[in-house]
Structure 1
Amino acid sequence: MAEVSETSSELPIIDIGPYLDRRDDAARLVTSEALHDACVNYGFFYLDISKFVDADEPEELTRLAREFFALPQEEKDKISIRNQDQARGYQRLKENVTNGKADNHEGIDFYKSVDQPDKTKPLWGENQWPDVPNFQRKFSQWVEKMKILGMLVMEAMAVGLGMTTEEWEDLRSQVDDSFWVMRIIGYPPLPNDHDGFSCGAHKDYGCLTFLYADPTRSALQVFLRQASDSTSESDDLPTENGTEQGTWINADPIPGCIVCNVGEMWEIWSNGLYKSTLHRVVHRGSNYRIPFFFEPNFSANVTPLPAAFRIQGKDSVEALTDSKTYGPVVYGDFLLQKVSGNFAIEGKGRYD
């Protein structure tokens, strides 16, 4: 089994500030180059957002989350996902399953609002907001800020990948109506004899994940691939990744920063240059985390970018016949396949 490193210093810290203050072109380029290196080498990084978000704001969101999760079970069940489209709303403790094991957390999921909602269609219902004062208003404000942040990071990544202005505008048109997701997760202490994890090993299947993490240390663990003979094979990875070698490192919270990672859509856009990285949660505290998933538009046709081919030394014609070229996907179709049966009792989970 792969060991867990006690340090999180291996993940880089990147300041998004230069993309808020447009006066320093050189500083923006440094940020973009750092993002590119982080995505190539880790798929994970810390993003310093201290110039973008007041530290008190996510703390207030945590307070509101605590107020909701402290309600009696029957009150929380009033906004159960079973009332809607099996995606939007509250999930009980251990209702979600990853890799055949119950996840030791409870949560609420929100998605981008859709036209003509229909709760009989997967993902096409309506969001359910807790009856907690200021909850909807405060979290809706957070959504809007994370959408702005998502576009800033996408632009910075486009520069880091060497995209032209026209290529960036084309990519921008695939994320300018992001089918975003926000989760509010409550973690009770993980029992010593629990057969599973607070959230099992998985990769994110979207675009960018922005995690506001609670102060609990050694909870979020990131799997870093290593080719060295000194590393040991992990026996607790999903089946398709069970032969990978590497080590788990702790991505502990850093003040003023959120933890970010790229999902499978960026792996396609970059034709494999950027990897969606395995991660898991082993939470022995009692706290709350707020991941926001900045995703492509529901109708986006995600296909490898010419800039990625240039870095790989391929032209577009060669890439079409190369077996290593990633195939295109329509994000909405891909998402529907991923989330179907997320919370099924039969043992299929969100990340299976």
Structure 2
Amino acid sequence: MARDHHPEKLPVLDLAELDKAGSRQAFLDNLRATAHGIGFFYVTGHGIPQNLIRDVLVQSRLFFALPEEDKLTIGMVNSPQFRGYNRAGLEHTRGLPDWREQIDIGRELPARPIDPAAPPWTRLQGPNQWPAALPSLKPIVLNYLDQVTALAIRITRAFAEALEQPADIFEPIYKPAPNQLLKIVRYPGREKVDGDQGVGAHKDSGFVTVLLQDVQSGLEVEGKSGWIAAPPIPGTFVINIGEVLEMASNGYLRANVHRVVSPPAGADRLSVPFFFGARLDATIPVLDLPPHLARAAQGVTQDPRNPLFRDVGKNYLKSRLRSHPDVARRHHADLLEPKERDGALTVASAY
């Protein structure tokens, strides 16, 4: 049964306090309490130039305004690496279609030839697709990808210190090539009788997510007493914990459930989430927390419909195959059980 909405608000943390000797420890204490509790917060003092943020949003609007035939030239279904454009309804959460159109963008790398002896997740390395009709999109988005990656690393290091660990304790599992996924997303408005799943309730899989929102609300976070709205606040990003940090901290840090509700008819919502993850060849460690933190660790939440693996590549490929069944069937049918090649895609045989 759906929970009611709750008037609670997400906290706002100023990352600039991390660089001030007089406020550094108070910031880390606040960060730890927030991550142990709701797992979501707004961040200010992030250092990403406002003009770059504006340019990303402008380019995103320009892309979604292109004729459909121009957008479909970079259709994700053409990419074995799950990069490119999807029309609304083609990505799925918990088996139901998400009502959003989007582009998925990652680190620019050459495609690796398929090697039957290599782990299946090695297929995920490859190039992005860029629209010929909007050449200005690529340089702006790749610049933003670099800067938001640096921000995510800074926040990940702060989480390590908040757990009373060395700041660089996670470096061995994300250097030199972290898993980077940027989505540029537009949620079309629609009548409530048609459904309201912009994105279904889920957790994110990486270290942290850095979310840029435009002006329309829609993000909601699961609280103890109901769904908590996370409307856009100018000059901020929304930060949330991913399952890598939850598993590494044995549940002390919380990867919380969240969803996006479709805007009303006549409106739309634009957002640019960035997912910062560990290297695909990495294994998530379990940190040796000090006793006073270890006692408060809640353990890792397990969903029997979506089992978690400490092997990062295995976890990430599972997510991609389930979220994009059209890509899975076209390019990775050998990883699927026979019944999944024609019916609902729920489990990949590679796992």
Q: Same fold (TM over 0.5)?
A: yes
Aligned counterpart in structure 2 of residue 275 of structure 1, from 239, 247, 254: 254
For the residue of structure 2 that corresponds to 1:144, the secondary structure is helix
Aligned to 1:330: 311
Q: Is the 2:160–2:169 contact (alpha carbons within 8 Å) kept by the matching residues of 1?
A: no
User: The residue matched to 1:107 in structure 2 has which SS?
Assistant: strand
Q: Which amino acid aligns with 1:63?
A: V
Aligned ranges 1:144-163 → 2 under 5 Å: 144-163=146-165
Please name the residue that 1:63 is paired with: 58
Which residue of the other structure, out of 68, 73, 87, is the alignment partner of 1:73?
68
The equivalent residue for 2:325 is 344
Q: Secondary structure of 2:252's match? A: coil
Give the letter for the 1:299 counterpart. D
For the residue of structure 2 that corresponds to 1:180, the secondary structure is strand
Which position in structure 1 is the counterpart of 2:27?
31
Q: Residue 180 of structure 1 contacts residue 294 of structure 1 at CA under 8 Å; is this kept in 2?
A: yes
1:262 matches 2:241: yes
1:204 equivalent in structure 2 = 204
AA matched with 1:123: L
Against the structure 1 CA distance between its residues 95 and 47, is the aligned structure 2 distance closer, same or farther, given a 3 Å change threshold? same
In structure 2, distance between residues paired with 1:129 and 1:119: 23
Residue in 2 aligned with 1:249?
Answer: 228
Pick aligned residue for 1:135 from 134, 137, 144? 137
1:293 matched to which residue of 2? 275
Partner of 2:197: helix, strand, or coil?
Answer: coil
Supply the AA of the counterpart residue of 1:107.
Answer: Q
Residues 43-58 of structure 1: matches in 2 within 5 Å? 43-49=39-45, 52-58=47-53
Alpha-carbon distance change, 279 to 252 in structure 1, aligned in 2, over 3 angstroms:
same
Structure 1: runs of 5 or more not aligned: 227-245
**1:123-161: CA deviations, max 9, x gaps?**
233211122132111111111111111111111111111
Change in Cα spacing, 1:106 to 1:8, as seen in structure 2 (3 Å) is: farther
Which residue of structure 1 aligns with residue 104 of structure 2? 109
Q: CA deviation at 1:172?
A: 1.9
Decide whether the 8 Å contact of 2:284 with 2:311 is kept in 1: yes
Q: Give 1:192's aligned residue.
A: 192
Contact residue 4 and residue 249 of structure 1 kept, 8 A? yes
Please list the CA deviations of residues 256-308 of structure 1 after superposition, one character each: whole Å capped at 9, or x if unmatched: 11111111111101101112111111131313110001111222210210126
Change (3 A) 1:103 1:175: same
Matched residue, 2:127: 126
**Offset at 1:313?**
4.5
What SS does the aligned partner of 1:37 have? Answer: helix
CA distance in 2, matches of 1:74, 1:291: 25
CA contact (8 A) 1:98 1:349 kept: no
Question: Aligned letter for 1:306?
Answer: D
- TM-score by structure 2 length? 0.82
1:100/1:18 CA distance change after superposition, 3 Å? same
Paired AA for residue 186 in structure 1: R
Question: Looking at both structures, which has the greater relative contact order when contacts are Cα pairs under 8 Å and sequence separation is at least 6?
Answer: 1
Distance 2:153 2:346 in 1: 30
Identity %: 27
Q: What's the C-alpha RMSD, in Å, of the aligned pairs?
A: 2.7
Change (3 A) 1:175 1:124: closer
Structure 2 CA distance for partners of 1:122 and 1:116, relative to 1, 3 Å: closer
Q: Give the letter for the 2:323 counterpart.
A: N
Task: Indicate how the Cα distance of structure 1 residues 334 and 310 shifts in structure 2: closer, same or farther if over 3 A, else same.
Answer: farther
Structure 2 distance, partners of 1:74, 1:349, is 31
Alpha-carbon deviation of 1:191? 2.4
Q: Partners in 1 of 2:128 and 2:216 — Cα distance?
A: 29
CA change 1:100–1:171 in 2 (3 A) is closer
**TM-score with structure 1 length normalisation?**
0.82
Structure 2 vs 1, CA of residues 93 and 328 (structure 1 numbering), >3 Å: closer, same or farther? closer
Paired position in structure 1 for 2:219: 220
Please tell me the residue identity of whatever aligns with 2:145.
V
Q: CA deviation at 1:341?
A: 3.6
Pick aligned residue for 1:98 from 89, 93, 96 = 93
> How many angstroms apart in 2 are the aligned matches of 1:198 and 1:52?
30
Deviation of residue 101 (structure 1)? 2.2
SS at match of 1:68: helix
Letter of the structure 1 residue corresponding to residue 261 of structure 2: V
- Matched residue count: 314
Check 1:325–1:81 CA distance in 2 against 1; reply closer, same or farther (3 A cut): closer
> 1:56 offset after TM fit, Å?
2.8
Matched-pair contact (CA < 8 Å) for 1:190–1:197: no
Q: Which amino acid aligns with 2:288?
A: P
